[in-house]
Structure 1
Amino acid sequence: MLLDTASLYFRAYFGVPDSVRAPDGTPVNAVRGLLDFIARLTSTYRPTHLVCCWDNDWRPQWRVDLIPSYKAHRVVAEVAEGVDVEETPDPLAVQVPLIQEVLAALGIAVLGADGYEADDVIGTLTARAEGPVDVVTGDRDLFQLVSDERSVRVLYTARGVGNLEILDDAAVVSKYGVLPEQYADYAVLRGDASDGSPGVKGIGAKTAADLLRQYGDLASMVAAATDESSAMGGSLRAKLRVSADYLTVA
């Protein structure tokens, strides 16, 4: 079981009253909530292994270089030679080091990689896993990892950890009209305001799904847009061409 830790402790912070404090008055509602989540998840799903995946860099510079708007709306201070400061409530910020200490004290593996987000760690561990994997997250980007063939599911926390939405291949198709392996291209086309991903102007969720059903993937779609002999309509061709630079790096 792979946990998108920041996703969970943010949810815990907003879900547990800030009256939960240590004897010295330090707020520990996020700490308490995260531990409650982990206890519920492990008792319900009985994973053989558990990893808390960590954002060593929540907004990697290499991603910003490719898409300058990436998470820009969540930056409160830019750091020239380090990690930008993310907008985080002060009572939560003081708990993040405590969360790391508590997880270490409990012997729960915490894994991050410098210059990368927890998503990247989760993707890498999932690709290397030799058995079933459950990914616990509130981030839709990780839907692309779902695979019935490899027994990879996403336990989606949008409705709360007590009411998880379990996503397999059929659930992703039912919800978005695309296969899990097409979800990344779908998100690129549609855009995602939560990450500052602009998407292609004039292409919404329905059109993105229709296009992926027709062309299979983004690369084939872009190739058709640049091929004057293709049957792609002029309006769609123009939209994709205008966004060519974005589509090349997204």
Structure 2
Amino acid sequence: MNSRSVTAQGRGQARRAANSNAMEAAGRAGFVARGVIYVLVGLLALRIAFPGGDAKQADRGGAVAEIAEKPFGTVLLWVLGIAVAGMALWRLSEALFGGAGPDEHKPGKRAMAAGRAVFYAFVSYSVLSFAAGDSGSGGGSSDQQSQDITAKALGWPGGQWIVGIGGAVVAGAGLWIAVRALMRKYHKHLKLSQMSRRVRQAVDVTGVFGGAARGSVFAAAGAFAIAAAIEHEPDKSKGMDDTLRSFADTPVGPWLLVLIALGLVAFGVFSWFNARYRKV
């Protein structure tokens, strides 16, 4: 057998592994885990919406810390971290071999899948590190991390441009997420024919509302990064927790934060619908 045949055989085996039941299960477990994180972040945001509310940070670190305080919390964190690792592996398989759908093999789609694989790998690592006893990892403040990264980037040559462009990319991604949710672009990824009318209505409520809220958070965080670049002030940059808290500083008071928080809970529920009906 020549080297070309061996290479082709290896690629075939890798593709079959990517399309296996195990990979499908990994992806669906990842959606369940993502849903858990977003529901908890939304609930934490609701707690801080009003004076006298819980001061615990409303971000992934806060969600991880919340789980850790529960009975069998460490075990739950190990399960959560492994499930998120499953999401990372599934996204990696999409990057390497393309996902389900007629246009999921395009280079742009595969590049986006690769970026998501890296992101979920980082999330998995941080959660598992926290479960293993590194309390400064998965439970760290997103606000402090954002400010530290911004301060370091601003110190580079052309740092203001780098931070500003990065902020613009995040803000643009947030608007893209929100618009696609409002247009119900997620329909093409779901097995709609397997849903009852009520389930489909629930999917649309959580998908539109949740996606719009999630996109709004990303857009706001990107805007704060742009402000940090323009004013050369790292403290202007905000992680998810401070970004969410900023919604309470609007003229409508805490009610906008309540709306966004409920939207994040809805997006978590939408993730659970994806775990059941997503084309994987």
* Structure 2 length-normalised TM: 0.26
Q: Which has the higher helix share?
A: 2
